[in-house]
Amino acid sequence: MNVRLRILGSGLSAPGLPDIDALAAVLAGGELGDEKPGSSSISLLSPRERRRCPETVRLSMAAAEQACSAAGIDPAQPDAVFTSGMGDLAISDYMCRTLAETPELLSPMRFHNSVHNAAAGYWSIGAGARGDVTALSGASDSLVTGLIEAASRVAADRRPVLLVVYDTVADGPMRAVWSPRHPFACAFVLGVADDAEAAIELHAQEGLRQDDCPPLPAALAERSADNPAARALHLLALSLGRGHGPLRLAARQGPGLRIEPAA
Amino acid sequence: MKDLHIAAMTLTCAAGSGLDALRASLRNGESGLRRNDYPNCELDTWIGRVEGVENVTLEGDLARFQCRNNQLAALALDQDGFRAQAAALLERHRPERIACVVGTSTAGISSTEQAFRELDEAGEFRPEHVMPWVHTPHTSAAYVAAALGLEGPVQTVSTACSSSAKVFATAARLIESGWADAAVVGGVDSLCLSVLYGFHSLELVSSDPCRPFDRDRRGLNLGEAAGFAIVEPRPQASLGRLLGWGETSDAHHMASPHPEGAGAIAAMRLALERAGLAPDQVGYVNCHGTATPMNDRIETAALRTVFEDPPPASSTKAWTGHTLGAAGITETVFSLLSLGDGFLPASLNCQDPEPDAADFILREGRRQKVDAVMSNSFGFGGSNCTLIMGAA
């Protein structure tokens, strides 16, 4: 199984990496900064909504909005795939603590924000996207899961798809099962590849259980090893013409992906 | 689009384990709802709890998946010869070519709740609760793929109450685009404090057995269920064809449906368009029908907009409770049963129907052969999915 795709635009939201330009600077030899991913770059939510919405929403939406802007596509248009291993860990922590102590006091807003498709739902509301906006999980395989889902949609529907990959950090006992120390979100608008254009090719690779990608600068390699979503840094580097293929992205179950620039 | 069939299916919910038990419950009007007896929950409500889930042990390599959600999934896989059907599927296709797509909203959260109730003195999980394959939304598809030996793409869909309807669309796309030759799809949601107290906090839980489409309905009851189906282009036997699907978003509010049902209307229309059917070719609709005042009113209006004259329709949630992430598979199985058996289930507990729905909501089960059925699933985040199935 292999499929050609075009990356029409991409976006990024992580500490020190508030956008694609910041990534390009680090790939060119610059230092990784320490600024927080800025919610000020989200225009699709009002300032009040930005303050009230969960962290996963702010993080993912910033990346998604950048990707649409870079692709020159109206955010309301593409179907979207949100993929995350753990969803909103801060809300899970709140829910489980409250249920253990004072269940009758559970906040209705936090409850409806606890669904795994909260980031997808807020995106749909903010962007006015009335097509399909779905939410997946593949645990630590979520990047590969999302890429396969997005690729199958581009092939089946022959129109661009927004793929948003994100995972945050456990700040509490969930650290025992989820170790990342840095949140990460990125987004791609993926489209049909015409023959003449620069494209990437995805190959399903059975039994691929170990990543094998060209090296990144140390600070980025550390992020990529820290958070399973941040393995997408390899694909972002490739799309910036900074990396060379192929990338081999492993999965614990199901096929991994070999990704290379299309010849 | 490839001609896709449902080659096998099974369902376990409060109304019964396995298709024969469910057929009997539907015909005899025997609800699976009971007064709330879920541990650590004091709420005055009724629930659709499946008997014996707590007694299931996942053995060997599967022990890493031990949680109520996967125990319920294991119970369901044991019914209707589904494991044998999956084994036969593995004879027809290489394991790498069989996708596994499972919908859930609760996943392993009841185990996460327990881990937080039993933190050690340092505020950390006790060793027995450090279960990375359980404390993730993906536990559901990961477990099913491991239990059945499926090695194609594995994906958990988690879009609240539309989750396990969307798995059929996902499977169809994976097959259509060449990532898989067939798929095991399904949905699993289990009772937990998060949803019991969560829906209570939104004032959507009824203290009586729920009454979908009744003008005096007071809200929903929560339930749990697990169901599975095999989606395959050229099966040896077929229970029905997947004709169409529509997936849309309300783009309106996280927890309230669009006031005019715009997303629901669009989902039904997209499904009809994909199926190549006119509205009057649909013979039965299994509604989302949660029995909340708002859902049933808006769904009624949406049905009136899509169908000039809506076909016989019912909500089966008074049998099962609202099984959330498993509602899609639960009601798809009920829809396929009505297609195969020529028996349309009643909207149980609807005594005095909402006036606008009185002419099409079934108050009694009806023997009637139909050629195409529709199932609606709408969820938080404004996520809507409509499926249409046709005779084999």
Domains of chain A: 2-261 (3.40.47.10)
Looking at beta carbons, which residues of chain A come within 8 Å of B170? 134, 149, 152
Measured distance CA(B280)–CA(B282) in Å, rounded: 5
pLDDT-based confidence at residue A125 (cuts at 50, 70, 90): very high
Distance from CA of A160 to the nearest CA of B (A): 15
Cβ–Cβ of B136/A137 closer than 8 Å?
Answer: yes
Cβ–Cβ of A145/B382 closer than 8 Å?
Answer: no
Q: Please, what's the b/e burial string for B231-253 (b: 16 or more CB within 10 A of its CB; e: otherwise)?
A: bbeebeebbbbbbbbbbbbbbbe
Interface-testing mutation among B44, B61, B114, B135, with chain A (most A C-beta atoms within 10 A): B135
Cβ–Cβ of A124/B255 closer than 8 Å?
Answer: no
Looking at residue B220, its pLDDT comes to 98
Q: A250 is written with which tokens?
A: 């492993």
Give A197's DSSP letter.
Answer: S
Distance from CA of B26 to the nearest CA of A (A): 31
Cβ–Cβ of B177/A104 closer than 8 Å?
Answer: no
Looking at residue B299, its pLDDT comes to 98
Nearest CA in chain A to B204: A108
Nearest CA in chain B to A178: B132
Interface-testing mutation among B96, B138, B199, B383, with chain A (most A C-beta atoms within 10 A): B138
Looking at beta carbons, which residues of chain A come within 8 Å of B116? 93, 96-97, 99-100, 173
Asked whether the predicted pLDDT for residue A39 surpasses 70, the reply is: no
Q: Using DSSP, state whether A88 is helix, strand or coil.
A: coil
Asked whether the predicted pLDDT for residue A196 surpasses 80, the reply is: no
Asked whether the predicted pLDDT for residue A263 surpasses 80, the reply is: no
Cβ–Cβ of B381/A172 closer than 8 Å?
Answer: no
Q: Give strand ranges (E) for A168-255.
A: 184-192, 200-205, 247-249
Interface-testing mutation among B131, B162, B197, with chain A (most A C-beta atoms within 10 A): B197
| Residue in A103, A108, A152 nearest the CB of B202 | A108
Q: Please, what's the b/e burial string for A18-34 (b: 16 or more CB within 10 A of its CB; e: otherwise)?
A: bbbebbbebbeeeebee
User: Which helix (H) or strand (E) segment is A141 a member of?
Assistant: none
- What is the CATH superfamily name and number for domain B4-390? Thiolase/Chalcone synthase (3.40.47.10)
The parts of chain B modelled with pLDDT lower than 50 are none
Distance from CA of A95 to the nearest CA of B (A): 7
C-alpha Rg value of chain A to the nearest Å: 18
Number of other residues whose CB lies within 10 A of the CB of residue A135: 29
| Residue in A103, A152, A176 nearest the CB of B179 | A152
Nearest CA in chain A to B256: A112
Asked whether the predicted pLDDT for residue A223 surpasses 90, the reply is: yes
Decide which of A192 and A1 is more confident.
Answer: A192
Provide the mean pLDDT of chain A.
94
Burial of A157 (0-12, 13-18, 19+ CB in 10 A): middle
Cβ–Cβ of A177/B157 closer than 8 Å?
Answer: no
Cβ–Cβ of B194/A99 closer than 8 Å?
Answer: yes
Q: With contact defined as beta carbons under 8 Å apart, do B283 and B371 qualify?
A: yes
Cβ–Cβ of B158/A115 closer than 8 Å?
Answer: yes
pLDDT-based confidence at residue A243 (cuts at 50, 70, 90): confident
Torsions phi, psi for A90 (to 5 deg): -65, -40
| Residue in B156, B160, B194 nearest the CB of A138 | B156
Sign of CA dihedral B17, B18, B24, B30: positive
Cβ contacts from A onto B, under 8 A: 231
- 3-state secondary structure string, chain B? CCCEEEEEEEEEECCEECHHHHHHHHHHCCCCCEECCCCCCCCCCEEECCCCHHHCCCCHHHHHHCCHHHHHHHHHHCCCCHHHHHHHHHHHCCHHHEEEEEECCCCCHHHHHHHHHCCCCCCCCCHHHCCCCCCCCCHHHHHHHHHHCCCCCEEEECCHHHHHHHHHHHHHHHHHCCCCCEEEEEEEECCCHHHHHHHHHCCCECCCCCCCCECCCCCECEECEEEEEEEECCCCCCCEEEEEEEEEECCCCCCCCCCCCHHHHHHHHHHHHHHCCCHHHCCEEECCCCCCHHHHHHHHHHHHHHCCCCCCEECCHHHHCECHHHHHHHHHHHHHHHHHHCEECCCCCCCCECHHHCCCECCCCEECCCCEEEEEEEEHHHEEEEEEEECC
Looking at residue B1, its pLDDT comes to 59
What ipTM did this prediction achieve?
0.98
Looking at beta carbons, which residues of chain A come within 8 Å of B381? 115, 117-118, 120-122, 124, 133, 135
Torsions phi, psi for A140 (to 5 deg): -75, -5
The whole-number average pLDDT for the span A214-235 is: 97
Looking at residue B90, its pLDDT comes to 98
- Give the start-to-end residue ranges of the domains of chain B: 4-390
C-alpha Rg value of chain B to the nearest Å: 19
Residues of B belonging to the active site:
161, 288, 322
Interface-testing mutation among B185, B254, B270, with chain A (most A C-beta atoms within 10 A): B254
Q: Is the peptide bond before A18 cis (omega within 30 degrees of 0)?
A: no
Measured distance CA(B381)–CA(A114) in Å, rounded: 11
- Residues in CB range of A71: below 8 A, 6 or more apart: A8, A9, A160, A189, A191
Looking at beta carbons, which residues of chain B come within 8 Å of A125? 251-254, 382
